[in-house]
Amino acid sequence: MEIAFTKLQGNGNDFVLIDEHDGEVVPEDMKGAFAALFCDRRFGIGADGILFLQASETAEIRMRLFQPDESEAEMCGNGIRCLAKYAYDAGYVKETCSVETGAGIVAVTMGYADDEFTATITMPAPAFERSAVPATGDGEYKEEIRGFTVYAANTGVPHAVVFVKEIGAVDIAAIGPAIRNHPTFLEGANVNFVEIAGDVLRIRTFERGVEGETESCGTGATASAAVARHLGKAGDTVRVETKGGPLVIRFGETVTMEGPAETVFAGVIPF
């Protein structure tokens, strides 16, 4: 048996996509173990997660994401752009579509300009509600952890946002797990370290499920921009520079994230 796959990346956040649009390819009870095996960068294909593109009863397509620790994530901003690119190229959807995720249905607008693919995602509305401690009088959910002031926000998945003077000086491998596993976050959290540089947010993210730093995190960029805006540190349009490249977050009647996606290669897995 062979399983066809496509490797894609959004700002360096990379995924292996399995097309299950016309039916199950990887059995449900094996999806977590499949992710652990093939996300491995030495003994597998190498990725931050496995995307499963499926048909949906409530939207045009469905996205599921299994992570290297075998868990299933509710939402992924970079992942949904990669899924949308694949679906668009395969002819499953047109320039606008709806995608079912574990965090609800999101809208996607996409297309090519000079052979570069860009997608704008309507993100779940940021909610400052992932903290176990009560909100302050300003409606902020925050906690002091390991000497850092940590804000909580949910943009489809739970996030911790930490503002620092210089992100390059932070030992993310040491501090990230301490915040990610802190009991303040009931389900754990992705941890975003954010440096404000004029009108730009520079961000590095320690991701739950990957259990390490990734090149980019779309929901993390959105959460960081939302907290910065809530605190008066950013406006309605925020450029977020991740290690893998920039994202643009816009706040209005909805919250959107704009960024690229690229196909890296395709292949088959003997299985």
Annotated active-site residue in 39, 76, 82, 97? 76
Q: Is the dihedral of CA 103, 61, 191, 138 positive or negative?
A: negative
- Tokens for 263, please give them: 């196909």
pLDDT digits (tens, 9 = 90+) for 257-268: 999 999 999 999
Together in a domain, 249 and 265: no
**Residue 39 is among the residues annotated as catalytic for this protein:** no
* Percent of the chain topping pLDDT 70: 96
Together in a domain, 36 and 95: yes
pLDDT digits (tens, 9 = 90+) for 54-110: 999 999 999 999 999 999 999 999 999 999 999 999 999 999 999 999 999 999 999
Q: Is 61 exposed, middle or buried, given 0-12, 13-18 or 19+ CB atoms closer than 10 A? A: buried
Together in a domain, 159 and 67: no
Together in a domain, 74 and 164: no
C-alpha 163/C-alpha 151 separation (Å) is 9
pTM: 0.93
Q: Is the pLDDT of residue 131 over 60?
A: no
Together in a domain, 110 and 154: no
* Residue 128, in any domain of the structure: no
User: Smallest Cα–Cα separation from 75: which of 156, 9, 140, 148?
Assistant: 156
* Residue 160, in any domain of the structure: yes
* Residue 87, in any domain of the structure: yes
Together in a domain, 215 and 265: no
Q: Is 56 exposed, middle or buried, given 0-12, 13-18 or 19+ CB atoms closer than 10 A? A: middle
Q: Is the pLDDT of residue 11 over 90?
A: yes
Together in a domain, 110 and 160: no
Q: Is the pLDDT of residue 240 over 60?
A: yes
pLDDT at 136: 59
Q: Is the pLDDT of residue 135 over 70?
A: no
Q: Where are the beta strands (DSSP E) in the chain?
A: 2-10, 13-20, 49-54, 61-66, 72-73, 96-101, 104-113, 116-123, 142-145, 148-154, 158-163, 190-197, 200-207, 212-214, 237-242, 245-251, 255-260, 262-270
**Which CATH number does the domain housing residue 184 bear?**
3.10.310.10
pLDDT at 174: 94
* Residue 136, in any domain of the structure: no
Together in a domain, 153 and 86: no
Cα dihedral 127/131/135/136 (nearest 10): -110
Together in a domain, 264 and 235: no
Together in a domain, 21 and 62: yes
**Residue 97 is among the residues annotated as catalytic for this protein:** no
Domain count, the chain: 2
Contact 205, 242 (CB under 8 A): yes
* Residue 204, in any domain of the structure: yes
C-alpha 61/C-alpha 125 separation (Å) is 21
* Residue 127, in any domain of the structure: no
Q: Is the pLDDT of residue 160 over 60?
A: yes
- Tokens for 110, please give them: 């996409």
pLDDT digits (tens, 9 = 90+) for 23-35: 999 999 999 999 9
* Residue 132, in any domain of the structure: no
pLDDT at 134: 56
Together in a domain, 154 and 104: no
Least confident of 79-93, 117-131, 172-186: 117-131
Q: Is the pLDDT of residue 256 over 80?
A: yes
Range of the domain at 186: 142-253
pLDDT at 142: 85
Q: Across residues 136-160, what is the average pLDDT? A: 85
For 164-190, the DSSP string reads -S-GGGS-HHHHHHHHHT-TTBBTB-E
- Furthest-apart CA atoms within the chain: distance in Å: 59
User: Smallest Cα–Cα separation from 18: which of 71, 74, 79?
Assistant: 79
Annotated active-site residue in 39, 82, 97, 217? 217
User: Smallest Cα–Cα separation from 69: which of 35, 25, 106, 107?
Assistant: 35
pLDDT at 2: 93
Together in a domain, 159 and 247: yes
Q: Across residues 156-185, what is the average pLDDT? A: 93
**pLDDT averaged over the chain?**
94
pLDDT at 128: 83
* Residue 131, in any domain of the structure: no
pLDDT at 139: 57
